[in-house]
Structure formats: C-alpha cells, structure tokens
Amino acid sequence: MPDVSQKIRGIIDRRGLPEVGPELMILLDLDGTVLPPDGYIRPRVADAIHAHIRAGSRVVIATGRGRVSALNVVEMLRIRNAVMICSNGNETVLTGRASINGITGVPYESLTDDGRPVTMRITNVSTIDEEDLANALVTMKAAFPRAFFAVEPVSGERYLADDFPTGILHPQRGEYVEFADLFVDDCVRLIMVQPGLPATELQRRLEPLNLPGIEWAASSSSNSGWVDAGRAGVTKAVTADLVRREFDISANSTVAIGDGHNDIGMIRWAHLGIAMGQANPYVQQQADATTDSVWDDGLATVLEALLDR
C-alpha cells in the first residue's frame, strides 16, 4: 500500500499543477495546519514553507485569526514579507515589503504581544453592518449566556465585554467596554468564546439562530468554545479567489491546506484541496486528499511533494 506521501504525490501529478514558482498559489491555514496545539512549529514544516518562498511560490496565509494574532505566527516562521488573509477572509494583511501586483494596502500600526510597535498594511476589508452586528450579539448572548464576547474594529484595539479573559487572546489585551458598546459600525470580526464547549455543540446551538448578515465559524480546536464571525458571504474561499485574481494566477494553479470547519470552502475552492490528518471526518470528506496529522508534519508532506516534482 502506498504511504501518505506517495498518495499526495500521485494526486498532485494527476491535477496537472504548475511547477513551484510564481504561477503556483498555496494557501495555508495556521492553527492545526502550520501551528500544532502545543504552539511549536516543527522545523520540517518551517523549512518546507521557506523552500517555497525561495522558489517564488505565492504562499498565502489564510486564517481565522485577526491581523496581529496572525502576525505572531508569521514572525515565529520568520517570514518578513507575508500576504495574509485574516479574520476568515474579512481582511487581507501585508507585512514587510509584500504587495499583490502593486496593491500595497493602507498602513495600520499596532503593538505585538511583547509591546513592540509594528506596521502592517490592510486591503480587501469587509465589515459587519452595525444593525446585523447588534442583532448577532444580542441573539448569541441569549443563546450562550455564559459566553464571552469581543469585537475587532478596522482600527484601534479590540473591544472586550463581560470580563473577557485576555489570556486566551493574541495579543493578550483589549479595551473593556459595556456589552452595548460592542455595537460598532466598523467591526471586521466578532468573537464569542464559551470555554469547554465542543465545536459540534457550538454548531448545533448556533445553526437555528437568526443571524442575518453574519457568517460564523466554530473552531475545531478541542473544546475551545471559540466562534469567529464576519460579514455574510465573506469567507477564506471568497477572499482567496480575490487574491488569486489580483495575483493573476490561474484557478487551476491553487492549493489549499487546512483542518477546520472554516477551511471547508477554501479546500473545495482550490484546484487541489488537502485536509490535515487530524481533521474532523466531515472536513476530510470535502478534500481531494488527506495528509498526515499536524503532529506528523502533514503540511510538510504536501509542500515537499510539490517541491520534489
């Protein structure tokens, strides 16, 4: 029986993807794909990512994390010039000298976890309508009375309500406000957390709620109780296709790797969609192939197979 690596190589060959280089676009989820639950990026994974960057492949981060939280992982990888689809598609973030065919974005200044000033550039921003946001917050709070809520505006610090525990955030800070003050007019990302609640239970209780104008995704991380929400119709897949067109890359030259419910659309959209080995069976069923788990360097298995052709 062929091993996982051989199976991945076989499907890459059958899909007719271009060689590594600027005609190939690779979308990487972060948590559960690049970053294991222990927070330590394996050297084999980092080496494979950098090999693609050196070869000129269009490596794009695609994450549910907000911009500063995503930057933390990119800095762990020591990527200086990054293109990141953040907040499940609601913003595209450029670091260092990165650009997308001349698109440079609007400067945004913030602080890292250790208080270091950092400048990023933001483009392709989508925000939740204020009325839809207010309805979502009130409706979700009624359904999850023990949950914590926060919102991330286009600029400035995130707003936290109800003693939101900053220890589970990156960066670990925010401005505490009254619940009603979360109803802002420039919200990129709504966060709800009820620690200890499994993703399946979150989904079961969220699905019947009337949340017009909202696109939500429950984290697949073990019992994190974490839900991200943004503007309806905006997903990783939607923004990935926008960035693909901005890069002028063929739809048949795209690869996406992920592990969560919020990766399904992107996995389906890509010409080659790969699920991580530890992903929920439903996620794996949507993929063209399944690689090794995040603990067994499953991302590196795919990236090396693309490099070795």
Supply the pLDDT for residue 221.
64
> Rounded to an integer, what distance in angstroms lies between the CA atom of residue 75 and that of residue 107?
18
pLDDT confidence of residue 1: 43
How many C-beta atoms lie closer than 10 Å to residue 204's C-beta? Answer: 11
Most confident of 54-68, 105-119, 162-176, 189-203: 54-68
Q: Which of 116, 111, 83, 32 lies closest to 295 in space, CA to CA?
A: 32
The mean pLDDT value of the chain amounts to: 94
Each residue's pLDDT tens digit, 56-94: 999 999 999 999 999 999 999 999 999 999 999 999 999
The reply to whether CATH 3.40.1280.10 applies to domain 4-126+235-308 is no
Q: How far apart are CA 37 and CA 31, in angstroms?
A: 7
pLDDT over 90 at 267, yes or no: yes
Q: Which residue has the higher pLDDT, 43 or 225?
A: 43
Per-residue pLDDT at 14 exceeds 80: yes
Q: What is the pLDDT of residues 123-178, one digit of tens each?
A: 999 999 999 999 999 999 999 999 999 999 998 889 999 899 988 888 888 999 99
Tokens read off for 247: 């890069």
Provide the 10 A C-beta neighbour count for residue 43.
Answer: 10
Sign of the alpha-carbon torsion through 256, 264, 151, 77: negative
Q: How far apart are the first and last CA of the chain?
A: 21
* Residue 200, pLDDT score: 83
Mean pLDDT over residues 11-34, rounded? 96
Give the rounded percent of residues in the chain with a pLDDT score beyond 70: 98
Q: What is the pLDDT of residue 114?
A: 78
Place of tokens 């000129």: 56
Which position has the higher pLDDT, 272 or 170? 272
74 contacts 83 by C-beta, under 8 angstroms: no
Where residue 220 falls among pLDDT bands split at 50, 70, 90? low
Yes or no: domain 130-231 corresponds to CATH 2.60.40.1220: no
pLDDT of residue 132: 98
What is the arithmetic mean of pLDDT over 39-49? Answer: 97
* Annotated domain spans of the chain: 4-126+235-308, 130-231
Q: What average pLDDT score do residues 30-58 get?
A: 96
* CA proximity to 248, closest of 12, 52, 24: 24
DSSP element (H, E) containing 58 = strand 58-62
CA distance 63 to 70: 7
